[in-house]
Amino acid sequence: MNWGDLSVLVTGGTGSFGKAFARHVLKERPPRRLIVFSRDELKQHEMQRALGFDDPCIRYFIGDVRDRERLNRAMHGVDIVIHAAAMKQVPACEYNPLEAVKTNIDGATNLVDAAIDNKVPRVVAISTDKAVNPVNLYGATKLVAEKLFVQGNSYAGGGVTRFSCVRYGNVLGSRGSVVPLFKKQRETGAITITDERMTRFWITLEQAVKFVVSCADQMQGGEIFVPMIPSMRLMDLARAVAPDCAIKQIGIRPGEKLHEVLVSRDESRNTIELADRFVIEPQFAWWTERGPTHGKRMAADTEFASETNTRWLTGAELDAFAESG
């Protein structure tokens, strides 16, 4: 797909992912037009300054995914939407549940409607491992959002609009990453972790952006794409960041799991394994005649979980994560 002919819109465009996405596509896949959609004018100004005020293809669009009319205006003539806007902080979502619903669920509904009304051919929504068997409100809202986007294809029906999701784990370098916290704590000589048994999936911001772009190229509609990414033990990460510090366990926080899952056992029967990703296919793709997804079927009743992953970050990779995070 030649992005040079396309108009691309990214929601949450001034967040960690949005900025990395903009930098990547401007360098590697420059589109005809890149629309940065977000609600913070100061962050847009700072992004303009960082990327260059004179770039002719970038448009900065003030708006909120809660506002359907504004989304509808922003999507006029758009070919690809990357939906990264969300409330992501677990404690904030727990304390402000209605606000999380308005952004993560109502915002997803508004985006589905606006994309269909504007005949946007491709929409890719960013999801999270927290959406699998959720135990906190953030994960629950992202689970609902996934369902809305997958079934949004049925609302589009015979139209041109197709929706898919990308689901991955913790992002190194994003806001809220644990590495900056560890780096700050090591100045005191002691760092805190919630539980020494805890494991997580990890992906770099650059890897996440490249994966999302490749999924936008490959999507047919209704898939949930999951990268085959490594796991990491939080204790190992803590030791890599602060090898000389004492480590104190403080207990699992509300809404937190010991381990995360990216493909559940129930999803495995609808999942295809490719070289670098899993593709969870829609169970009932009644909106279109799908082409085949080439690959092998994931073994039934298995899961892709952080504690049973076959790939773990090596010592060198841990050190690199610790330095760059």
| Residues that are catalytic | 130
Sign of CA dihedral 193, 194, 195, 200: negative
Pull the structure tokens for residue 291. 């082409």
Nearest to 2 by CA among 35, 38, 23, 32: 32
Give 132's contacts (C-beta < 8 A, 6+ positions apart): 139, 143, 167, 260, 261, 262, 263, 264, 267
d(CA 83, CA 66): 13
CB 262 within 8 A of CB 278: yes
Is residue 44 a contact partner of residue 15, using CB atoms and an 8 Å limit?
no
- CA 82 remoteness from chain centre: 10
> Of 276, 286, 160, 306, whose CA–CA distance to 211 is shortest?
276
Q: What's the angle, vertex CA 273, arms to CA 212 and CA 12, rounded to 5?
A: 15
Distance CA 96, CA 105 (A): 14
Pull the structure tokens for residue 96: 């402000």
